[in-house]
Structure 1
Amino acid sequence: MSDTQTLIENRPPSVASLFLERVAKTPNAEAYRYPVPPASGQGPDDWKSLSWGQAAERVYAIAAGLIHLGVQPQERVALASATRVEWILCDLGVMCAGAATTTVYPQTNAEESAYILADSDSRVLIAEDATQLAKAREKGADLPHLSHVVVIDPTGVEPDEADPEGWVLSLADLEKRGHEYLEKHPEAVRERVAAIRPDQLATLIYTSGTTGRPKGVRLPHDNWSYMAKAIAATGLVTEDDVQYLWLPLAHVFGKVLTSGQIEVGHVTAVDGRVDKIIENLPVVQPTYMAAVPRIFEKVYNGVAAKARAGGGAKYKIFKWAAEVAREYARASQDNFRRTGTASVPFGLKAKHKIADALVYSKLRDAFGGRLRAAVSGSAALAPEIGYFFSGAGIHILEGYGLTESSAASFVNPGEAYRTGTVGKPLPGTEVRIADDGEILLRGPGIMEGYHGLPEKTAEVLEPDGWLHTGDIGELSVDGYLRITDRKKDLIKTSGGKYIAPAEVEGQFKAVCPYVSNILVHGADRNFCTALIALDEPAILGWAEEHGLGGKSYAEVVATPQVQQLIQGYVDRLNEGLQRWQTIKKFRLLPRDLDIEHGELTPSLKLKRPVVEREYKHLIEEMYAGARED
């Protein structure tokens, strides 16, 4: 048995156990950094730190406070908050109390929040602020089992006569009660942790389904313990790393990063404010971070727009440097695959050196100057964008997983990463491709099932443990996986041709620097069309330069000039496609797609049925009376 197998197979029963081990091993080492905005509201944030020992003191107090409130092992405690250090401390507190965390996105409306709280039978809600508390108050009559609401930031919280006595308390109050409880029962938390079984429920994550009610994915403690050990076994992160964590922790991708950090013991800087990413990167100076493709697309579009605004010469240099980056990345990755060294021809190396001084070094500085690697997941990254960043020295390691597989089933292996693939399976995870191309997974990261939905569980989980992912993919001879599309998203035209819309959409994102979101349509039609939303800052910058300044986004995208601009990019896209894949017609949307309107999931995935339903009139308009063969 290899050292890796031994490490994984001899894993402890829970991340709560791993946390206690980490605290005992490095109590004084830095664990978390978090921002404290200035009292005046002006100027930069002041970043504070927590050591593992300091974090443990708060975690034990939260756990003991929950025990004092009567929370029993495996009972659910809901957590509705944006990403912040308290989210992690509360989640660990819940697990150390032997209970299970129900994650709720802060953007979730009152009705769906109430559904999740009721369906999960959550006994306590930890709410971020007055806004999250208001949702619980609005639906309180529908939540008879909700015994308490704990508010992380009580600013602006006013007493309400309708609240049952003692129903609302602050996180500080909970921790105070926990400290008092521990004075009388000093071993209470350790006893709860020691009693946790590997198959005991740790986390209940509700998937944001495109239709119908969300399903609760049951992830036991063993899933997270395995993930922690498997991430450490990849060697991708070390105890010297600094991670910048901004992803939503209610999402499985964000959550898994907290497990890996506890096992490895590195520093994590936590701040979920997406509008602060650009400002935070030079301050945090991360060595690695995880993100979704939309972030890399926005950075790429922003750099391209800035170069364009600098005049014709600057934009020409940027376009040249972008092509050099892609050529360099392809050559170095191909050589590494063949020979084990990332060497490139001398002429290309010389061009790359010049481009690095002119363009790439500035891009790396914008990421803080120390970024060794970035992990991308949740959706496919357009390979052309991946190659650009790779050649610029920002190594994006694509990974793959589902909520149902605890997020991290595949990841690219460090130096040997291959753009356009999601890498190899984590140690201990099995994969096979079904006859119809569907990816099947089996291993210690697979869910127990859907909460209270045995029929739905049976649809995706075989009795022998194989999970049907719903994704289509291909495995290389040496084990690298490439995702080609969602099984249910494959388009079959009326001519009988199959098209993977995500592939076409990804190619367009690489060609057009103004695109934000694109949806390719064509099922049961005789040609393909597209709904396109543009990146507002990028297209308004273009508009300013072309005599359209002062107009709103909706006015700009309706102009003939912008229609003509995007038509040019569609024509470029079509040049590289098979005839039946080409986009014959498109419509520009009057606004970008977003989470608030339900068109994107909180992890920024496109909800195709929602978008197609909302813009049905535009789709029908493109096909009305038309025949394109």
Structure 2
Amino acid sequence: MSDPKEQGDPEGGHPVQAAKAILKTKIYSKMMKKSYRSRDSETKAPGSCYWTAERDGEVKLRMGKNVENEPPVTVPDLIMSAATKYSHYLAIGTKYKKNWQLLTYIEYYEACRRAAKAFLKVGLERFHGVGIMGFNSTEWVIASIGAIMAGGISVGILCSNSPKACQVIAEAAEMDIFVVDNDKQLQKVNQIQGYLKHLKAIVQYREDIQEVQPNLYSWKGFLDLADGISDEKLDHIIDSQKPNQCCALVYNQGTVGAPKVMMLSHDNITWTTAATVQSLGYKCPPDGQEVLVSYLPLCYAGVQILDVWVAISVAGTVYFPSSEAGKWNGPPRAPGTGFLTEMLREVQPTTFCGIPWVWDRMLDNLKTKHLDSTAFRRKIDRWAMRVGLSTNRRRLQGQIHQPLCFGLAKRVTFDPARKFLGLNHCQQFLNFGLGLSKATVDFFLSLDIPVFQLYGMTESSGLHSLSSYQAFRLPSCGKALPNCHTKVEKENHEGIGRLCLWGRNIFMGYLNDKESTEKKMDNQGWLHTNDLGFLDVDKFLYVTGNNNDTITLSSGEVVNPHPIEERVKMRIPIVRYVMLVGQDAPYLCALLTLKCQINPETGEARGALTSEAVACCRKLRSQSTWLTDILENRDPLVTEFINQGIQDVNAEAPSAGAKIINWVILDSDFSVGGGELGPLSKMNRHIVAKIYQEDIQKLYETST
């Protein structure tokens, strides 16, 4: 990594240092003026309703009467504050070939202002969209913040979207500008730009432009346009923005039917950021500086809150992967062989956020390393992990005293495991997305790596409740953000019902869809979700599934598949994914995938079983090493093992309808590229059902 000192200001009266000092003085002056204006604006009535379907609408903030409420601020206020307080701390960096290009907070802020001016120069209109389609990078974030500063709306778009999907998004957002990272994304825009009546410019920030177009700019050429717009004009636009107005659009990516467009306000972003910082133990200069790695798609609201806005709020340093990693459009590659672990080992993050897919890959690599070690080493690791799991479970029950042997276990097993993953400096481990199995959570807990579960949806700005060292109870998603509330409606006999959320993190509404917005939010500002769960007596939230995933059998019995699927994975450790089927059928059946190795170059599942799965087969006296060795009942030992596991699960079923009658092992593990998993590794049930329709039909043709 480049020496950060080389990226900062030289000492001793250098003209660059003097220019930055002048800029810092100007920023401070603007902040003082802004604070006086915001005090005056607090007396004015905000929007009269908690929601709107109009892009230029204003909403009533859920302030309540709590004197501890954070005063509402805009996104430009947030980054201006960071640039003032932490001007010379490293803010952001992307790796180009072997070198890091780093920006301090003062440089970061100025780059965002230049982007904002350039957007104004090419004709960005108030409340019109700027679509950003590319892999995470410095330019991605600067374009997003610059678009907001210029009075536009930032719209993140998945790199894997088709040209038609891009057209739908662009038309709804009234897109004035597309920002893309390479020629592949540019060609998508070129295919549809004839249909986009608002499109004024396209900016490409990676790779050389291969063919000149009248409205196409390189990143440098785009930023040079900023010289044509005065500071006064930009400041006037920034000052006119209100916290209860829209600044970002987020799409529910990969769902059935037409995508919904969700509007987030300035206050949604800045308040959720402040509440997250308050809930988690982030360091802040001068006491220390957070180091973060940003690799999950920034077009997801929760990812953006953590990687962009929280990082700015605590003056952390965010590192983005190299452009070579960006050429690959699949999920994060398997840690230990792909770019992710290489990055983690290089930059040494202090907080890391994974998704179930990533944590499972890390587990696979650690277990492979364990199985490849000597018998003596394996014995030591097993002892240390027993100590780690029992100690951490006692901690959850309130016991704080560590056994004397814990320090030894830490030195011989826990520290080497963290170093192997590149997480030896990490102090917080977060997980985005439901579906992280209890077995995976327990495995990392045994290595003294407590994985904090986050819960949220785009309609709640990506976050609503989270676990932390102060609120950690398995298998819960922790507690709601400060001054947020959760209630459960339509509870069943087990106390499980639909979750309702309230707080300043709740979105403004669905763009141009008043009907759907009214169905989702009531007059008191409660967001009614389709997620199922319950609260315990201490207000810990447990999410048990989604109402859209429930299965109604032909008998009329309604079954929640998630708890049953989790029990199958616990009972049968060679199984990776389980999906129950049985809608309008007489009984439940299960689709199973086995744990297979992952191709580090493509993210696709291979035919070879993981080391853990092979070790499990050896315990059964089976010699299977490939998936094909087991398919179609070719290995009676494995078949009987799975049958016994299913019987054990059925023994715990609360009713006859909740029992699994038939099952089948699918010929491939699920993957993002195959379509079975979404970009954050959530299972796409309707796609799985479509892909494996024949297998499902055979299950019901088989006699019981």
Common fold: TM-score over 0.5: yes
**1:21-420 → structure 2 map (5 Å cutoff):** 21-38=81-98, 46-155=99-208, 157-159=209-211, 163=213, 166-178=214-226, 180-182=227-229, 185-239=230-284, 240-257=289-306, 258-271=308-321, 273=325, 274-275=332-333, 276-310=339-373, 322-334=385-397, 336=398, 341-343=399-401, 346=403, 350=405, 352=406, 355-365=409-419, 366-420=421-475
Q: 1:247 is paired with a residue of what secondary structure? A: coil
The superposition leaves residues 279-305 of structure 1 with CA deviations (integer Å, 9 ceiling, x where unpaired) of: 111211111111212211221122223
The superposition leaves residues 161-188 of structure 1 with CA deviations (integer Å, 9 ceiling, x where unpaired) of: xx5xx2111111111111x124xx1233
Change in CA separation of 1:498 and 1:320 when aligned onto 2, cut-off 3 Å: farther
2:590 touches 2:660 (CA, 8 Å); kept in 1? yes
The superposition leaves residues 561-593 of structure 1 with CA deviations (integer Å, 9 ceiling, x where unpaired) of: 667437525634652552444544332222333
Alignment partners' CA distance in 1, 2:316 and 2:609: 41
Change in CA separation of 1:147 and 1:534 when aligned onto 2, cut-off 3 Å: farther
Change in CA separation of 1:355 and 1:600 when aligned onto 2, cut-off 3 Å: same
Report the residue type matching 1:396 in the other structure: V
Which residue does the alignment assign to 2:19? none
Change in CA separation of 1:311 and 1:463 when aligned onto 2, cut-off 3 Å: same
Range that drifts further, 309-318 or 325-334 = 309-318
Report the residue type matching 1:592 in the other structure: D
Alignment partners' CA distance in 2, 1:312 and 1:521: 42
Alignment partners' CA distance in 1, 2:282 and 2:559: 37
Alignment partners' CA distance in 1, 2:376 and 2:465: 42
Change in CA separation of 1:7 and 1:62 when aligned onto 2, cut-off 3 Å: farther
Alignment partners' CA distance in 1, 2:96 and 2:68: 38
Alignment partners' CA distance in 2, 1:265 and 1:6: 26
2:389 touches 2:448 (CA, 8 Å); kept in 1? no
Which residue does the alignment assign to 1:43? none
Alignment partners' CA distance in 2, 1:585 and 1:193: 61
Task: After TM superposition, give the deviation of residue 387 of structure 1 in Å.
Answer: 2.6
Change in CA separation of 1:383 and 1:516 when aligned onto 2, cut-off 3 Å: closer
2:128 touches 2:173 (CA, 8 Å); kept in 1? no
Alignment partners' CA distance in 2, 1:583 and 1:315: 36
Alignment partners' CA distance in 2, 1:331 and 1:279: 34
Task: After TM superposition, give the deviation of residue 553 of structure 1 in Å.
Answer: 6.6
1:449 touches 1:457 (CA, 8 Å); kept in 2? yes
Report the residue type matching 1:94 in the other structure: A
Between the two proteins, what is the percent identity of the paired residues?
A: 21
2:282 touches 2:314 (CA, 8 Å); kept in 1? yes
Change in CA separation of 1:369 and 1:462 when aligned onto 2, cut-off 3 Å: same
Which residue does the alignment assign to 1:593? 670
The superposition leaves residues 232-254 of structure 1 with CA deviations (integer Å, 9 ceiling, x where unpaired) of: 22242121221222111011121
2:571 touches 2:648 (CA, 8 Å); kept in 1? no
The superposition leaves residues 72-112 of structure 1 with CA deviations (integer Å, 9 ceiling, x where unpaired) of: 22111111111122211111111111110111000111121
Alignment partners' CA distance in 2, 1:167 and 1:356: 58
Range that drifts further, 577-586 or 420-429 = 577-586
Alignment partners' CA distance in 1, 2:380 and 2:574: 19
Alignment partners' CA distance in 2, 1:229 and 1:312: 49
Alignment partners' CA distance in 2, 1:17 and 1:187: 16
Alignment partners' CA distance in 2, 1:87 and 1:517: 34
Alignment partners' CA distance in 2, 1:8 and 1:593: 44
Alignment partners' CA distance in 2, 1:198 and 1:431: 24
- Quick check: 1:607 aligned with 2:684? yes
Which residue does the alignment assign to 1:42? none
Report the TM-score, using the length of structure 1 for normalisation: 0.88
Task: After TM superposition, give the deviation of residue 133 of structure 1 in Å.
Answer: 0.3
The superposition leaves residues 378-437 of structure 1 with CA deviations (integer Å, 9 ceiling, x where unpaired) of: 223223322321231212111111001101110113243112111111112121111231
1:301 touches 1:514 (CA, 8 Å); kept in 2? no
Q: 1:416 is paired with a residue of what secondary structure? A: coil
Alignment partners' CA distance in 2, 1:181 and 1:194: 20
Number of residue pairs aligned between Structure 1 and Structure 2: 597
Which residue does the alignment assign to 2:36? none
Alignment partners' CA distance in 2, 1:56 and 1:464: 38
Change in CA separation of 1:516 and 1:173 when aligned onto 2, cut-off 3 Å: farther
Report the TM-score, using the length of structure 2 for normalisation: 0.79
Q: 1:482 is paired with a residue of what secondary structure? A: strand
How much is the aligned-residue C-alpha RMSD, in angstroms?
2.8
- Quick check: 1:489 aligned with 2:549? yes
Change in CA separation of 1:200 and 1:296 when aligned onto 2, cut-off 3 Å: same
Q: 1:187 is paired with a residue of what secondary structure? A: helix
Q: 2:483 is paired with a residue of what secondary structure? A: coil
Which residue does the alignment assign to 1:571? 644
Alignment partners' CA distance in 2, 1:506 and 1:330: 20
The superposition leaves residues 43-73 of structure 1 with CA deviations (integer Å, 9 ceiling, x where unpaired) of: xxx3342110111121111110001111122
Change in CA separation of 1:486 and 1:141 when aligned onto 2, cut-off 3 Å: same
Change in CA separation of 1:140 and 1:371 when aligned onto 2, cut-off 3 Å: same
**What stretches of structure 1 of length at least 5 have no aligned partner?**
39-45
Task: After TM superposition, give the deviation of residue 502 of structure 1 in Å.
Answer: 2.1
Alignment partners' CA distance in 1, 2:447 and 2:228: 54
Report the residue type matching 1:533 in the other structure: T
Alignment partners' CA distance in 2, 1:582 and 1:85: 51
Task: After TM superposition, give the deviation of residue 24 of structure 1 in Å.
Answer: 1.3
1:599 touches 1:608 (CA, 8 Å); kept in 2? yes
Which residue does the alignment assign to 2:489? 434
Alignment partners' CA distance in 2, 1:508 and 1:373: 29
- Name which of 450, 454, 476 aligns with 2:514: 454
Change in CA separation of 1:612 and 1:121 when aligned onto 2, cut-off 3 Å: same
Q: 2:532 is paired with a residue of what secondary structure? A: strand
Report the residue type matching 2:437 in the other structure: A
Task: After TM superposition, give the deviation of residue 449 of structure 1 in Å.
Answer: 1.1
Q: 2:124 is paired with a residue of what secondary structure? A: coil
Alignment partners' CA distance in 2, 1:611 and 1:391: 33
